[in-house]
A and B are shown apart, each in its own frame.
Chain A
Amino acid sequence: GENVEQHPSTLSVQEGDSAVIKCTYSDSASNYFPWYKQELGKRPQLIIDIRSNVGEKKDQRIAVTLNKTAKHFSLHITETQPEDSAVYFCAASKSPGGGKLIFGQGTELSVKP
C-alpha cells in the first residue's frame, strides 16, 4: 500500500547549522509533496510544498528537493534558529492540491542555542 518513510526520527543541531530531513514514498503516482511543521500541542502548518514537475523549490531558509526516479524528497533548513525546533512531517499525495495525504512518521528537530 501507500507508504512514506521519514528519517531521521530525531535531529539535534546547533544554532546556525543546517538540518536535512529525508523522505521516501512508495506510490509512483504521487505528485504532490508538502512539508508541515508542528510545534508541541499545536496544529500542523504547511511550510513548503513541491509538485512533481519541479525538482527544487526554495523559500528563504527552507528548500525542498525532489527526485522522482528515486521516489525521494528532502527538506533543507539553513541557518537554523531555536524557533525552528518542532516536529516536521513530510507527506505525499496523488492529487496536486492535497486530497489524501500520506504522512511520514515525523522528525523532531531540536536547535540548540
Chain B
Amino acid sequence: EAGVVQSPRYKIIEKKQPVAFWCNPISGHNTLYWYLQNLGQGPELLIRYENEEAVDDSQLPKDRFSAERLKGVDSTLKIQPAELGDSAVYLCASSLAVGGSEQFFGPGTRLTVL
C-alpha cells in the first residue's frame, strides 16, 4: 500500500513569491492534516480536513496561507506571499477517521525562503 505522497520534496523561493504544496493521502483515508515543523521542534497543526470540509483551521495564518481539498482526496496548501519565517518542513498526514485511527505522515516538503 502506498503511503502519503507529497510534492515537491524541496522548494527554494525568494521572499514575496507564492508557493504551493501538494499531498495525496493514503487511499480511503478521509481525514487529512497539514502540519508545520520548524527545525528542532515538533509538528504543529495548521489545518485538518474531514473529507472536503476544513474542521479545524484555527492555527492557519489566513492572511497568507490557504488550503483546499476540493474532492475530499488530495489537498493543496498555498502560501502567498512567502516570508523568511515560513522556511520549515510542511508535513501532510492522513487517517481513516478522527476516532481510533493512527495518523500516517508523508515525507514532507522542505521550504527555504531566501
Interface set of A (CB-CB < 8 Å, partner B)? 4, 6, 34, 36, 42-46, 49, 89, 91, 95-101, 103-106
A92 CA / B108 CA spacing, docked (Å): 21
The B interface, classified by DSSP as helix, strand, loop or mixed, is loop
Interface set of B (CB-CB < 8 Å, partner A)? 3-4, 31, 40-45, 48, 56, 91, 95, 97-108
Asked if B44 contacts A103 (CB within 8 A), the reply is yes
In addition to A45-B105, A106-B42, 6 A-B residue pairs with Cβ atoms within 8 Å of each other are A6-B42, A34-B102, A95-B99, A99-B98, A104-B42, A105-B42
Asked if B99 contacts A44 (CB within 8 A), the reply is no
Once A43-B106, A45-B105 are accepted as A-B contacts, the answer to whether A100 and B95 lie under 8 Å apart by CB is no
A37 CA / B21 CA spacing, docked (Å): 24
Once A97-B98, A100-B48, A100-B56 are accepted as A-B contacts, the answer to whether A43 and B107 lie under 8 Å apart by CB is yes
Asked if A97 contacts B42 (CB within 8 A), the reply is no
Of A44, A89, A97, A104, the contact of B95 (CB 8 Å cutoff): A97
